Amino acid sequence: MTNAIASWLPWAVVLPPLVSFLLLTALGSKIRKAAGWIGSLATLISLIFAFRALTAVSGGATLVADPLLLLSYGDVEVAFGADVSPLSAIMLVVVAGVSFLVHVYSIGYMAKDPRIAVYFQYLSLFTLAMLGLVVSTNWVELYVFWELVGAASFLLIGFDYMRPAARAAAFKAFIVTRIGDIGLFAAMILAFAQTKSLAIADTFQAVQSGALAPNVVTGLALLIFLAAVGKSGQFPLHVWLPDAMEGPTPVSALIHAATMVAAGVYLVAFTYPIFAQSPSAQFVVATIGAFTAIFAATMALVQTDIKRVLAYSTVSQLGYMMLALGAGSVGAAIFHLTTHAFFKALLFLAAGAVIHAVGTNDITVMGGLAKKMPVTAAWFVIAAAALVGLPPLAGFFSKDAVLASTVPGYPAHFTAAVLTVLLTAAYMGRVLWLVFFGEARDAGRHAAAHEAPLVMRAPMHVLGVLVLVAGAFTAPWTGPIGRVFGALGEVAHAPLWMAGLTTALGLLGLGFSFLCVRGAIPCPLGDPTRAAYRLLEERYYIDWFYERAVGGAAALFGRFAEAVDRLVIDGLWRGIADALIVSGERADAAGGGQIQRYNAVALFALVVMLVVFALSMKGV
Amino acid sequence: MTPSELMQYLLFSAMLFVLGLFGALTRRNTVIVLLSIELMLNAANINLVALSRFLPGGAENARLPHPSLAGDFSATLGQTVALFTIAVAAAEVAVGLAALIAFYRLKASPNVDEMDSLKR
Amino acid sequence: MPEVFPLLAAFVLTPVIGMLVVAFVPSREGGLLKTIGWVIPAVAFVFAAYAYAHFNIQSAEPQMKASWPLFSFTFPLYDPSINAFTFTDVSVPVALAVDGLSLPLVLMTALVTFMSALAVQSETRRLKAFFLFLFLLSVGMNGVFLAQNLIVFFVFFELTLVALYFLTAIFGGFGREKAATAFLVMNGLGSLVMLFVFVVLFQLTGTWEMRGIAEKLPLAAIDPTLKRTLFWLLVIALGVKLPIFPLHTWMLKVHREAPPAVVMLHSGVLLKIGAYGLIRFVLGFFPDLMPQYAPALALLGLVNLLYGGFAAFVQPDLRRVFAYASLSHMGIVLFGVAALNTYGLMGAVFQMVSHGLISALLFLLLGMIERRTGTSRIDELGGLARVMPTIAGMLLFAALANLGLPALSGFIAEFQAFLGLFLSPSWPIAACGLVGLGISAAYMLRAVLRTTFGPLGAEHAEVSDARPLEVVPMFVLAAAIILIGVYPNVLAVPLQATLYDVLGRIGG
């Protein structure tokens, strides 16, 4: 490893959430009010250390902390290490930063919830796992935090546990991501089988030195990608993410928009040395990414739940990041990951403020809220514009970086990505016009709406500023931030025609949806009875297929196994037992209580045994 | 003595045993059945005593072909066991006759084929 | 304590003392009985912990040997070289010792026994008899992992059988007699087969000592057919206990009927005797046959894993879900053993300990839920997190541990077992087994989410959460699960030397 610097900083970033998690677990409900502040403070400390780590590695160095040896025998060495490279430094800052803002926002959002301490306990667990994941140096460590992230997400989705929908969503999220995780599990074992080491660096070295067969490298890459597909909601494992919106809205902002779902992208970026050696794996990543981008965008067009629109948008944007990774540009992917974390978190926080105000997720009953909550509306509009990719917002630069990375060699992917811009603009425009402008469709809810309290507005302000400035992060003049992005490799700059094209498409989409919502022009998807609408509404019947086919098959196997148990195996044993009882009764009846008859039978048996013995001994 | 003499003892014992077995299995009168059992026990005793004399280390000190059950205590072992058997047989007859008398009081019959009350 | 203190004997005899004390306490003294009930296992646990602290991790030899003459006899053994029987003096002492393989299990047994004794605290009926049998069971369990010869092993093994029979038949649910009978018959037959194999092994080697047999048997000139037969008979005998499909139906019945504190011990400890025997006897005595039959064992493990998993997915009753889950998890033990490498064996032992703890925790919680709501049927429960947040939270924790969430003990066990099997010639079976990781998440979460999450039934609106005393065993077990999950070296270090020793024979 080049430029390794021994440092305690990596642990200092990870530890505060651990302390806060343990503290909240131990104290529990006794400290209802203080819980939020404990969690926020811990995350703030992490954020400060993460910034220090970022400045320390901006020259391209890597911080290496002392590992903890947890399991060691033979070749197996599970040592929890903590390294911070430029890539992980960016991720640490994004995670700690968004997490801190969401913690603060949640203090207001969750104030009335009786289980607020539990909420912050889970949130701390999530932050801990996410930061741990980013600094991992060992496959097992990576997997441990990877799954803990999933578990924390599962707990938070099911936080509102009384509602069957939340329960079902939590279950779905865990199972679907678990299927992906099996890929990482297998990858970890494959890596060990090939290199006899669980250290990730050893695997990279083996891959780069060409010690592994090309097929093995591709297999390793695809297994890792499977995990990323599960976590980042890529097709065909995207089904859990929209349902995950059953969790509290700040959780959606933090976990299911900004950080955890980006963990899949981070994983691929982090293990990029493996992908780099396998063009076919890269092609798979790019294709899945491009397909997911456009596929999820179409489904977002017809959703009526504001959070679900944002969820599909997240899936779509994660597709962009995967596309950039597949096209070979880690820089573009991480750049987009960063800006997306900011504007999508802002969108969710603003949406949360709206939901908090009107008490529903349904965009068809909102309307005209811009007058009631101007600050929220302003930030929502800015974030949406960033998502669509209008200059000069953050999303414009990062999206064009992604598009530019695909130009050499991926024309079909490029086309899909550009079309996605149009779709993105269309669905975001629909939400904007329906929620914030036009007439109030529910007068009662409209009248009760109000601006969110300061503790919820402040994080939105911070994120809003970031959305405005983050587009410049790759520019060298931003100091350490620019340098650290530079360390990830060259980020392609979009040519002028491409910038013009995406901007034009974005404006076209917004305008089209405006006219649609106003009824000025007939909407292609305006009629709920049309087949196309049904298809999108039913999410291409993929969820339906999973539930029926996969869930049904599992249940069928289960019933079959149980039937075998009851009828065949239990029946077999019972049959043997019955046969023994019957034969015993027969033999019993034959004796009739006559002792001499018993003895005669015994004598006969003895004689038979002796004869058999004598015959068998003949050879000896 | 020679091995053929041992054979005579063993044959005699076998005949005695078979006689006893026949009696125990066929006679109806319980007293005769008990007597027959005594015959079988004594047949075994004869075997034990005879073998203990003829085995290596025994009084006759004759060598028998392999496989030999070697051990220097075999001389006294057979006779000890025979004495045991006699004692046990006496006890067994005492119990058997007691049971017989009790049974006779109940059914007024000494026949063994009527002793099936455990079954009925 | 001085060097000569017979620690292991004290460990085994503590419950015997408990039995004597309980026998002289009048049955109306419920409080006193309960106190004795947890003090005795606590003392035994202290002994076990002391043994762990003083264990020499460098040595593969059995340590802390304690031995008393039990009986000795002279037996004619046929010596083919001189075509004659030779008389051999065979002495069978009560020999106890601990090595790396038994140490984790002894510690786990002591802990689970202690916790299940605490769980009985809310029981009321026929306490005297209950504790008598519980201590009898405890004697058997404490001794069985320490026994150094087959006869002593068998005696302790049978003690557990008798004790569990009565604990199920007297204190169980509605179908208790049937369950107890099914248990006794199947396990009795298993014991019979085992005894037969033991006797033949004695005839072949002339010793009852486990180490003696392990050294002599692979070298002895034995008819290969006989050897193969013995191998499979032993697998069957231990497979009843483990259990291996299709010998498992008795275990479902016991899980369904026995009182929760007993199922804690049954699922937690008794099933592990089968797994222990598999490593100690099947692997220890037949190292030369193992490479040949390892794929078959792995296949049996796969069947266990998937069959149990899919069946658990559709069960209507929590007890049955957990029972099938146990079946499924024992498949992972088989995976580990069949891997025939350090990783796999390590995984198997980890899984034994981990499943012991997790299973005990699951049934502890199930007992609490049953006592409060009067049912363990999933469709009659729901929303319990509202009225009993601690119990529901721990149930979710146990479920996550059971499905192999990293940083908890289940994961590190599964990981090593799979790692081992993937590195062995049977790796395609391991690849199929990966499905089991998904299905285990599905069945555990289905069952637990339906009971703890969702709307609360009106009939359970009044039930109460765990009392302070009930919280203790939950947290202790959870702490042990976390400790092993976070710092696996706590088990791996003492295990190493013994496992290398066991595996060394396979190569040679």
pLDDT digits (tens, 9 = 90+) for B48-64: 888 877 766 555 554 44
Span of C110-114, C196-200, C245-249 with lowest mean pLDDT: C245-249
Nearest alpha carbon to residue A29 among A121, A97, A99, A104: A121
Whether A256 and A317 have beta carbons less than 8 Å apart is answered as no
CA-to-CA separations, A173 to A125, A237, A349, A579, in angstroms, rounded:
17, 10, 22, 50
Chain A within 8 Å of B120 (Cβ-Cβ)?
A: yes
User: How does residue C330 score in pLDDT terms, banded at 50, 70 and 90?
Assistant: very high
For A486-504, what is the mean pLDDT? 80
Q: Please, which pLDDT band fits residue C348 given cuts at 50, 70 and 90?
A: very high
- Which whole number is the average pLDDT over C193-218? 87
Exposure string for C281-311, b = 16+ CB within 10 A, e = fewer: bbbbbbbbbbeebbeebbebbbbbbbbbbbb
Choice among A301-305, A481-485, A579-583 with the minimum mean pLDDT:
A481-485
DSSP state letters, A488-514 = T-PPPPPPHHHHHHHHHHHHHHHHHHH
Total length of chain B: 120
The rounded distance, in Å, linking the Cα atoms of A386 and A342 is 10
* C10-60 confidence digits (pLDDT tens): 888 899 999 999 888 888 887 888 888 889 999 999 999 988 888 888 888
Q: Is the pLDDT of residue B88 over 70?
A: yes
Among C76, C83, C86, beta carbon nearest to B66? C83
Does residue A84 register a pLDDT over 80? yes
Size of interface A-B (CB pairs under 8 A): 24
Determine phi and psi for A63, rounding to 5 degrees. Answer: -90, 130
3-state secondary structure of A342: helix
| Least confident stretch, A384-388, C173-177, C354-358, C408-412 | C173-177
- The answer to whether B119 contacts chain A (CB < 8 Å) is yes
A234: left (phi over 0), alpha (psi -120 to 50) or beta: beta
Average pLDDT, chain A: 85
Residue C480 pLDDT more than 90? yes
Q: Which residues of A touch B67 (CB under 8 A)?
A: none
Please determine, for residue A588, whether its predicted confidence score (pLDDT) is greater than 90.
Answer: no
Q: Is the pLDDT of residue A44 over 60?
A: yes
- Exposure b/e, A240-265, CB count within 10 A at least 16 = b: bbbbbbbbbbbbbbbbbbbbbbbbbb
Model confidence at C1, in pLDDT bands (50, 70, 90)?
very low
Span of A274-288, A461-475, C346-360 with lowest mean pLDDT: A461-475
CA distance A381 to A369: 12
The pLDDT of residue C70: 79
**Contacts B–C by Cβ distance under 8 A:** 15
Put simply, the answer to whether B67 touches C84 (Cβ < 8 Å) is yes
- Binned at pLDDT 50, 70 and 90, residue A528 comes out as low
Written as one letter, the residue type at C390 is T
- What distance in Å separates the CA atoms of residue A157 and residue A233, rounded to the nearest whole number? 15
DSSP for A510-568 reads HHHHHHHHHTSS--TT--TTSHHHHHHHTGGGHHHHIIIIIIHHHHHHHHHHHHIIIII
Instruction: Record the tokens describing residue A138, joined without a space.
Output: 């060992």
Percent pLDDT > 70 in chain A is 98
Q: What is the pLDDT of residue A618?
A: 64
Record: contact A565-C249, CB cut-off 8 A: yes
Q: What is the mean pLDDT of residues A104-131?
A: 87
pLDDT of residue B18: 92
Q: pLDDT band for position C231 (50/70/90)?
A: very high
3-state secondary structure of C94: strand
pLDDT at B71 over 70: no
At position A573, the amino acid (one-letter code) is W
Chain A positions touching C304 (Cβ under 8 A) are none
User: Which pLDDT score is estimated for B66?
Assistant: 44
B76 touches chain A (CB under 8 A): no
In a mutagenesis test of the B interface, which of A595, A599, A606, A617 is the best target, namely the one with the most B β-carbons within 10 Å? A595
Query: What amino acid is encoded at A403 in this protein?
Result: L
Tokens describing residue A109: 């959002």
A:280-309 residues touching chain C, CB 8 A cutoff: none
pLDDT of residue C106 exceeding 80: yes
Q: pLDDT band at residue A146, thresholds of 50, 70 and 90?
A: very high
Identify all chain B residues contacting C83, using CB atoms and an 8 Å cutoff: 66-67
Three-point CA angle A459, A465, A467, nearest 5°:
100
Output the pLDDT for position A61: 81
Interface list for A 124-183 with C (CB within 8 A): 140, 143-148, 151, 158, 161-164, 166-167, 170-171, 174-175, 178-179, 181-182
Question: Is the CB of A553 inside 8 Å of chain C's CB atoms?
Answer: no
Q: C109, C112, C177, C171: which is closest to C141 by C-alpha? A: C109
Answer yes or no: are the C-beta atoms of C179 and C41 closer than 8 Å. no
Tokens of A335: 């750049």
Does pLDDT of A475 surpass 80?
no
DSSP letters, A375-442, are HHHHHHHHHHHHHHT-TTSHHHHHHHHHHHHHTTT-HHHHHHHHHHHHHHHHHHHHHHHHHHSS--S-
Supply the mean pLDDT for chain C: 87
Kindly report the nearest CA distance between residue A293 and chain C, in angstroms: 27
Residues in chain C within 8 Å Cβ distance of B66: 83-84
Q: Which domains does chain B have, with CATH numbers?
A: 3-114 (1.10.287.3510)
Distance, in Å, from the CA atom of C168 to the CA atom of C60, rounded to the nearest integer, reads 38
Which of A147, A171, A572 lies nearest to residue C446, judging by beta carbons?
A171
Pick the most confident of A37-46, A105-114, A240-249, A596-605.
A37-46
Dump pLDDT digits (tens) for C51-100: 888 888 888 888 888 888 877 777 777 666 777 777 777 888 888 888 88
Tens-digit pLDDT profile for residues C352-370? 999 999 999 999 999 888 8
Q: How far apart are CA A427 and CA A249, in angstroms?
A: 20
Q: Which residue has the tokens 């009225």?
A: C387
CA–CA gap between residue A415 and residue A420 (Å, rounded): 9
* Residue whose structure tokens are 């509404």: A537
- Give the pLDDT band of residue C156 (cuts 50, 70, 90): very high
Q: Which pLDDT score is estimated for C461? A: 78
Question: Which of A519-523, C234-238, C258-262 has the least mean pLDDT?
Answer: A519-523
Q: How far is A513 from B26, CA to CA, in rounded Å?
A: 110
pLDDT of res. C2: 42
pLDDT tens-digit profile of A442-453? 777 777 777 888
* Contact with chain B for residue A593, Cβ under 8 A: yes
**Which residues in A lie closer than 8 A to residue C388 (C-beta atoms)?**
none
Q: pLDDT digit string (tens) for C389-406?
A: 888 889 999 999 999 888
Which one has a higher pLDDT value, A545 or C422? C422
Instruction: Enter the DSSP assignment of A302.
Output: T
Average pLDDT over residues A193-208: 88
